[in-house]
């Protein structure tokens, strides 16, 4: 299976509610590499690499959100993987 990159900007109530840790738990469970980080505009950016079907599972979780979060929108981009990540981190 070929590896691709998923770039997601998640907007809503996603900072200060455990959303990045939620993303990390799901990503690590799925064996996905990359990171989640807070952005200055209040969104969370998630960069993830892995097989497309596995990334789709992560995307489903990101759209549902963490227990205390509220996801309003997700802006999704599919890109070529770079292979630069060894694990999934919170930045």
Catalytic sites, residue numbers: 20, 38
Burial of 53 (0-12, 13-18, 19+ CB in 10 A): exposed
Q: Decide: 67 and 18 in contact? Cβ < 8 Å.
A: yes
Q: Are 36 and 17 in contact (CB under 8 A)?
A: no
């Amino acid at each position: 299976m070929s590896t691709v990159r998923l770039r997601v900007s998640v907007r809503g109530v996603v900072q200060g509610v455990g959303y990045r840790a939620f993303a990390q738990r799901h990503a690590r469970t799925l064996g996905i590499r990359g990171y989640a980080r807070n952005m200055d505009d209040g969104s969370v950016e998630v960069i993830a690499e892995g097989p497309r079907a596995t990334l789709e599972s992560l995307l489903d979780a990101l759209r549902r959100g963490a227990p205390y979060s509220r996801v309003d929108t997700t802006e999704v981009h599919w890109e070529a993987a770079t292979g630069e990540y060894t694990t999934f981190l919170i930045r």
